[in-house]
Structure 1
Amino acid sequence: MTALPQERRIVTAIPGPKSQELQARRTAAVAQGVGSVLPVFTARAGGGIIEDVDGNRLIDFGSGIAVTSVGASAEAVVRRAAAQLADFTHTCFMVTPYEGYVEVAEALAELTPGDHAKKSALFNSGAEAVENAVKVARAHTKRQAVVVFDHGYHGRTNLTMALTSKNMPYKHGFGPFAPEVYRVPVAYGYRWPTGPQNAGPEAAAQAIDQITKQVGPDNVAAIIIEPLLGEGGFIEPAKGFLPAIRDFAAANGIVFVADEIQSGFCRTGQWFACEDEGIVPDLITTAKGIAGGLPLAAVTGRAEIMDAAHAGGLGGTYGGNPVACAGALGAIETMRDLDLNARAKAIEVTMKARLTAMAEKFEVIGDVRGRGAMIAIELVKDRTTKEPAPEATAALAKACHQEGLLVLTCGTYGNVLRFLPPLVIGEDLLNEGLDIIEQAFARI
């Protein structure tokens, strides 16, 4: 696992003096637009712990935003990446290829849903993967329009900002955005007007109606959705919604793209979240958890769709970097060896039981949701009106940070605490983190 002791330790204020010194240097040298959730500077990380430069050890409920699912220094990732570093750091796959890229593509063909022939192209980031999925879909269909959903998040490039639904902080002041993007409703069960039991069919009917009337199915190249919406608030689309949208896409020759960048690679207790309702996407985008913290992303899909782009039409200087590919093979090895799907399900059982009990004690918790180790609580000022409580959410996150627990917030309304512990976190650390959350609620 990791040589880093798996125990929380607080020896200074959070952030401590060394972190504060580094923060002063950062303020002088780093662009203000790059934010940080918590200005403690990391010295080491592994398992379920982040150790800062002052010697504090924090429990990690963020995994670098669902990236270090296998831990931040997983043995297989380090071993394979180090061996590759010693051989060569780069040739550019588009100049002289190498086996690691091919091995990752083969692994993705095996792991992603569906038994059809598949091919992949590798990139650097989730946004690049989504952008290239759109390119492939447009090349295949000879159509232009792209349909996305309320509360969706797909990245920070110009096209993926257009696909993303949240203005602040992602889009504000950065327009104009790419055209031919259309947004339709999603089945957000907790906030659906007629209740969660009706959300799936009603939202699907509304979305399909809007696409049909406003865009025209024959003009749609791709429908892109996160099978479990991340940044929008860990929204699990109500049952029946995804299959209805998938069927509509298939009936109209539309490429159905599952954005599994945050939800993929064992995060939800399955290799991919779309497996929950048996969805087989035409294309699937992956990044974050794919390579144990090294920058890598992929578009994987039906071979005949992936081959629609002309030779030279896909690529990038660093896409599928050999060290990142080695890291990915190490991460996949770790996921298999430790059965991290089973571990994610065990984390869900522990977290949901504890958080549901907290919801009975604290009125501010409106909803407990998510799957696997992708769990969230939505905070509200009033359970009847469901008015969002972003101030309470920020205060709770701050209280957890001061006690040495790293948590993240999200949600269109800024009122969701999201929990993304590394899948290798120990049960004792997991429960200690939940204790800190419960104590923070009691104080606030």
Structure 2
Amino acid sequence: MSITTGTTGTGTPTTSLEVERAEARTAHNYHPLPVVLAHGEGAWMTDVDGKRFLDLLAGYSALNFGHSHPRLLATAHAQLDKLTLTSRAFIHDEFADFCAALGDLCGKELVLPMNTGAEAVETAIKVSRKWGYEVKGVPADQARIVVATGNFHGRTTTIVGFSDDPDARDGFGPFAPGFDMVQYGDLAALEAAITPDTVAVLIEPIQGEGGVIIPPEGYLRDVREICTRENVLFAADEIQAGLGRTGRTFACDHEGVVPDLYILGKALGGGIVPVSAVVGNRDVLGVLKPGQHGSTFGGNPLACAVGHEVVQMLATGELQDRATELGEILRERLAALVGNGVVSFRTRGLWAGVDIDPAIGTGRQVCERLMERGVLAKDTHGSTIRLAPPLVISEEDLHWGLDQLAAVLS
């Protein structure tokens, strides 16, 4: 495939040079598309050669509000001039407002801020185990957590230990015990896996990395009912699905379900700083005592200022409504492609997993062709591509991007 290039002052192709330099000094834990981006605004990015690209990935939903959102940038700039880090050894003046606003958005009492999504998942695991020992009365070191096939909760050694993705898991053992995997969406299997030592069910309400996999209608409601009946915590990983992406504030909202723990990240940092959090009530998060868990950067002033602004933007519901409206366009356009290069697809709000006809090419090949036409997307699991445009994308730009998809599939 060709790569759009410009030249440096010495006549060297700019994109090619930057790709080569990155490959030479970077551990190869990613296989990025050969595009070198230098600027972003709204739903568009520009590479080092001046070519513009429509962003249909939005940083795996970390950029729900687009690139360089003026409200978020203004908040970040203002905070940069004041205070950026104190550690949690001290309290800063942005902390209480952020925690209160996020707690209110979730309808919960307490917030535990962290940085990355994986840190938030690890936090939820620790909290669930401690709650199991101190509140439920599970014998020491016997706590078990039910997880689902096809999950993606992060890449720490604990988390990949309960992944069934060979790329994520193989070569990184030995793994922590205490996890029971059941088929995603299979309620009977989940119920059968619960024992007196089970402390939590940890699932994604929609599996993003799996290809936007949506469980059967009523599944989340039944999981909530089972967890309540069996005195087990329901921990919902809303890191990708939450904060407006699906047309609701949380994906659990589509079934009127409130988990015991919300696990949040990605969009919470507004595409500016890594911000994550675990949100729950005092009877669960209150099991942690000083010194038992923490993070130097978790809940730092810059993160709290940006995160608070994100929560205020979501509190009006306008972005959620926009995701619903544009998501209907996305669904209709993808439906027209079934049988024309698309085998099947799944959408919820402004989020889609699109299964490509293998006769057309792999997901990676389709993403490379889209890149040539000025659209950026990402493949997963071979034949599937994910589409997650920023929620601020215009209807016109969304149609244009889907026109390019139709073109590369024809």
- TM-score higher than 0.5 here? yes
* Counterpart pick for 2:245 among 257, 261, 267: 267
Q: Distance in 2 between matches of 1:414 and 1:392?
A: 6
SS class of match (1:299): strand
Please tell me whether residue 399 in structure 1 is matched to residue 357 in structure 2.
no
- Which residue matches 1:191? none
**Deviation readout 1:142-179 (Å, 9 max, x if unpaired):** 141111001111000111112333121x2221111211
Write the distance in 2 (CA, Å) between the matches of 1:30 and 1:67.
23
**Change over 3 Å in CA distance of 1:172–1:324 after alignment to 2:** same
Contact residue 105 and residue 315 of structure 2 kept, 8 A: no
What secondary structure does 2:362 align onto? helix
Structure 2 residue 314 is matched with structure 1 residue 319: no
Q: Does 1:440 align with 2:405?
A: no
SS at match of 2:166: coil
Match of 1:373 in 2: 350
Answer yes or no: is the 8 Å Cα contact 2:364–2:378 preserved in 1.
Answer: no
What does residue 428 of structure 1 align with?
396
Superimposed CA distance per residue, residues 347-373 of structure 1 (whole angstroms, 9 cap, x where no aligned partner): 1111111110111x41x4232212111
Aligned residue identity for 1:346: E
Name 1:346's counterpart in structure 2. Answer: 325
Letter in 2 for 1:30: T
The reply to whether residue 14 of structure 1 matches residue 4 of structure 2 is yes
Identity of aligned residues (%): 32
Q: Is 1:28 the equivalent of 2:24?
A: yes
What count of residue pairs does the alignment treat as equivalent? 394
Using the TM superposition, give the Cα deviation of residue 300 of structure 1 relative to its aligned residue in structure 2, in angstroms: 0.1
Q: 1:233 to 1:207 in 2, by over 3 A?
A: same
Matches within 5 A, 1:170-209: 170-187=168-185, 203-209=186-192
In the superposition, relative to structure 1, how do residues 303 and 380 fare at CA in structure 2: closer, same or farther (>3 Å)?
farther
1:87 shift after superposition: 0.7
1:313 counterpart SS class = coil
1:222 aligns with 2:196: no
Partners in 2 of 1:73 and 1:286 — Cα distance?
A: 21
**5+ residue gaps, structure 1:** 1-11, 188-202, 382-388
Aligned to 2:55: 60
Residue aligning to 2:69: 74
Rounded Cα–Cα distance in structure 1 between residues aligned with 2:105 and 2:3 = 44
2:225 maps to 247
Contact 1:121 1:298 in 2 (8 A): yes
Cα distance between partner residues in 2 of 1:395 and 1:57: 20
Q: Counterparts of 2:357 and 2:21 in 1: how far apart (Å)?
A: 38
Structure 2 residue aligned with 1:43:
38
The offset of 1:15, in angstroms, is 5.7
1:153–1:232 Cα contact (<8 Å) kept: yes
CA distance in 2, matches of 1:15, 1:127: 36
- Asked if structure 2 preserves the Cα contact closer than 8 Å seen for 1:375 and 1:420, the reply is yes
SS state of the match for residue 40, structure 1?
A: coil
User: What is the CA-CA distance between 1:36 and the residue it aligns to?
Assistant: 4.2
Residue 402 of structure 1 deviates from its aligned partner by 1.1
Show the counterpart of 1:330.
309
What secondary structure is seen at the aligned counterpart in 2 of 1:228? coil
- Confirm whether residue 133 of structure 1 aligns to residue 124 of structure 2: yes
Match of 2:78 in 1: 83
Distance in 1 between residues matched to 2:360 and 2:214, nearest whole Å: 20
Tell me the distance in 2 between the aligned counterparts of 1:330 and 1:37.
31
In structure 1, how many angstroms separate the alpha carbons of the residues matched to 2:361 and 2:301? 44
State the 1:204 CA deviation: 0.6
Distance 1:338 1:36 in 2: 36
Q: Which residue of 2 aligns with 1:155?
A: 154
Distance of aligned partners of 1:259 and 1:96 in 2 relative to their CA distance in 1, 3 Å threshold: same
Does the 8 Å contact 1:155/1:164 carry over to 2?
Answer: no
Match for 1:393: what amino acid? Answer: G
Q: What is residue 258 of structure 1 aligned with on the other side?
A: 236
Give me the whole-angstrom Cα distance separating, in 2, the residues matched to 1:19 and 1:176. Answer: 40
The separation in 1 between residues aligned to 2:189 and 2:403, in whole angstroms, is 42
Aligned counterpart, 1:105: 99
Give the 3-state SS of the residue equivalent to 1:430 in structure 2. helix
Aligned to 1:297: 276
Deviation at 1:44, TM superposition (A): 0.8
Distance 1:22 1:318 in 2: 31
